[in-house]
Amino acid sequence: MIAGALTDWRPALGELVWWTPADEDATYAAGVVSDVGPSFLQQDHLRAAHARRLAGGSHRAVVTVTTEVSLPLDAEAMARALTDFARAHDELRSRFVVGDDGALTRYLTPAEAITLTTRRESAPRDHEALVDVLHHRIDRDATHDRIPGWSVGAVDAGSSFALHVTFDHSHTDGSAAIEALQEIVVRFRAHVTGTEPELRPAGSHLAHVADEVRRAAAVTADDPLVRHWRTVLAENGRTVPRTALDIGLDGPDPAPAVAIDEPLVDAATAAACESRARAAGGSLSAALFATLARAQWHVTGERRYFTSTVLSTRDPALPGTQGWMCTFAPIALDADAGDPDDLVRAAAQQLRHARDHIDRPVHGVLAVLAASGDFVPDASSPQMVSYLDFRRLADPNAPEIVAGRVMPGVGRTRNANLWINRNDDGLRLLSHVPDNPVARRSIAALHRSLVAELTSYARVPAPVRCPEHVGAQVP
């Protein structure tokens, strides 16, 4: 499994096959208002998506997964597999309506009201035409107010096929999308062979959302996580983090983004970093934030590193649950405070504190701080760094996962968001930055510096001082 961008996905071309509701009107009519509304993250997404739609923008707040399957495509078996998949997960049977007054309502469709059927189209003339068709389908189908809120299809090459599934972000995160890819293929193979699928345990996302709302309401001003966020925010302008990189923007408005995916270090170097970090009392994720802090210092001269990171809130006993299940934690480091192991320990302490208090939803924490004036809300998304070990998701040795890709949507940004992903080959860096030469140069410089920091940390047990600021000389 690797990450990337849809424009870089190049399957063998062939006839296009789509799976859509057999009777979309009846599927809509069957939905009823749910007692469980959207989660906090879903609320943020829905308001942004609605505003984007009103402004006439393209819909790119999605997550796409793809794979290549070395079997002939039995389209009807896939239709049954996808029907079973949608019926099994309450989040995928949800659609959301944004009212004229801004009210957000979840409609839940009964499982038996969803049946997917097969539709075929002629093969695209080339890769660019394929991407155009996929984007058209995403704009139309992978939205919060459709049932199911996804665009799912295949490129039928005869003896094999390429499967692609794009979910509206309201229904999924990267981990859930990868689990979804495997579940769909497992169900497909079971229908082809007439056997029972062996599925990973899954639960109700709506139950998770209801519990999250209850827990957020219980957060108080003296909560340890509130105190931690208050301290971090006080030291960093009382608002969400922004990238320290020069990304070529003159004002506060986001700009069209580009996705850049590159390898960082090989498996042996990643393992050596992890080994040293654990000996220092940390983890590989702590080492990544420590080296990112030093890499950014090298490129920009800014010693203060402030970002947000993603932590999963999915029940590890129910890995197959479909839904957007995560929270955010602040990471704030002084890049010149001690040697690299000291920095790793500092990052590890913050990550450990966040995980120890992960039952406190971040939206509840920030609501308390906003009410006291300790947090100044910002309507746009914060600077974010995500670390994901693909080897711990689904079955990493299954052929559909080995051949799989996960692709965050590429829309507009005012940040330099980073996804660091680990697989059997090592670590890779996927970045979303504004599509301009300045941002490209900055992220290329950060990438080079991060590679150097990780390589140094893996090989040199003695303290390593960061070089002098050379930002002005970055080519």
HEC letters along the chain: CEECCHHHCCCCCCEEEEEEECCHHHHHHCCEECCCCCCHHHHHHHHHHHHHHHCCCCCCCEEEEEEEECCCCCHHHHHHHHHHHHHHCHHHHEEEEECCCCCEEEEECCHHHCCEEEEEECCCCCHHHHHHHHHHHHHHHCCCCCCCCEEEEEEECCCCEEEEEEEEHHHCCHHHHHHHHHHHHHHHHHHHHCCCCCCCCCCCHHHHHHHHHHHHHCCCCCCHHHHHHHHHHHCCCCCCCCCCCCCCCCCCCCEEEEEEEEEEEEHHHHHHHHHHHHHCCCCHHHHHHHHHHHHHHHHHCCCEEEEEEEEECCCCCCCCCCCCCEEEEEEEEECCCCCHHHHHHHHHHHHHHHHHCCCCCHHHHHHHHHHHCCCCCCCCCCCEEEEEEHHHCCCCCCHHHHCCEEEECCCEECCCEEEEEEECCEEEEEEEEECCHHHHHHHHHHHHHHHHHHHHHHHCCCCCCCCCCCHHHCC
Residue 365 has pLDDT above 70, yes or no: yes
User: Which domains does the chain carry?
Assistant: 2-196 (3.30.559.10), 219-467 (3.30.559.30)
If one counts every other C-beta atom within 10 angstroms of the C-beta of residue 363, the result is: 19
User: Is pLDDT above 70 for 462?
Assistant: no
Residue 20, pLDDT > 50, answer: yes
Does residue 441 register a pLDDT over 70? Answer: yes
Between CA 474 and CA 377, with CA 411 as vertex, the angle to 5 degrees is 85
Q: pLDDT category, 346, cuts 50, 70, 90?
A: very high
**What average pLDDT score do residues 330-344 get?**
94
CA distances 469 to 46, 289, 449, 465, Å, are: 41, 19, 12, 12
* CB neighbours of residue 39 within 10 Å: 25
pLDDT (mean) for 132-138: 95
Kindly tell me if the per-residue pLDDT of 427 is higher than 50.
yes
* Minimum mean pLDDT range among 30-39, 48-57, 142-151: 48-57
pLDDT for the residue 465: 53
Asked whether residue 473 carries a pLDDT value surpassing 50, the answer given is no
Structure confidence at residue 461 (pLDDT):
60
Among candidate residues 43, 95, 98, the one with its CA nearest the CA of residue 363:
43
Can you say whether the dihedral through the CA atoms of 181, 183, 189, 191 is positive or negative? negative
- Tell me what pLDDT residue 380 has: 76
pLDDT tens string 41-97: 999 999 999 999 999 988 989 999 999 999 999 999 999 999 999 999 999 999 999
Average pLDDT score over residue span 146-154: 96
- Whether the pLDDT of residue 103 is over 90: the answer is yes
Q: How many CA atoms lie within 13 A of 56 on its CB side?
A: 0
Here the contacts of 32-36 (C-beta below 8 Å, separation 24 or greater) are 32/107, 32/108, 33/105, 33/106, 33/107, 33/108, 34/94, 34/106, 34/107, 34/108, 34/206, 35/210, 36/106, 36/206, 36/207, 36/209, 36/210
Picking from 338, 346, 215, 376, the residue whose alpha carbon sits closest to that of residue 277 is 346
What does the alpha-carbon distance between residue 375 and residue 354 come to, in Å, rounded to a whole number?
18
Residue 338 confidence (pLDDT)? 84
Q: What is the pTM of this model?
A: 0.93
Q: Which two tokens stand for residue 72?
A: 């002939």
Do residues 441 and 475 make contact, with C-beta atoms less than 8 angstroms apart?
yes
**Can you tell me which residue has the tokens 């995403």?**
138
Between CA 434 and CA 437, with CA 436 as vertex, the angle to 5 degrees is 130
Joined together, the tokens standing for residue 338 give: 């001690």
Which whole number is the average pLDDT over 114-125?
Answer: 97
Percent of the chain with pLDDT over 70: 97
Q: Is 433 within 8 Å of 244 (Cβ atoms)?
A: no
What's the pLDDT at 181? Answer: 98
- Indicate if the pLDDT at residue 464 is higher than 60: no
Say if residue 466's pLDDT is above 70: no
Does residue 430 contact residue 419 with C-beta atoms inside 8 Å?
A: yes
Q: What is the pLDDT of residues 232-287, one digit of tens each?
A: 999 999 999 999 999 999 888 889 999 999 999 999 999 999 999 999 999 999 99
Residue 98: both structure tokens together:
């944004």
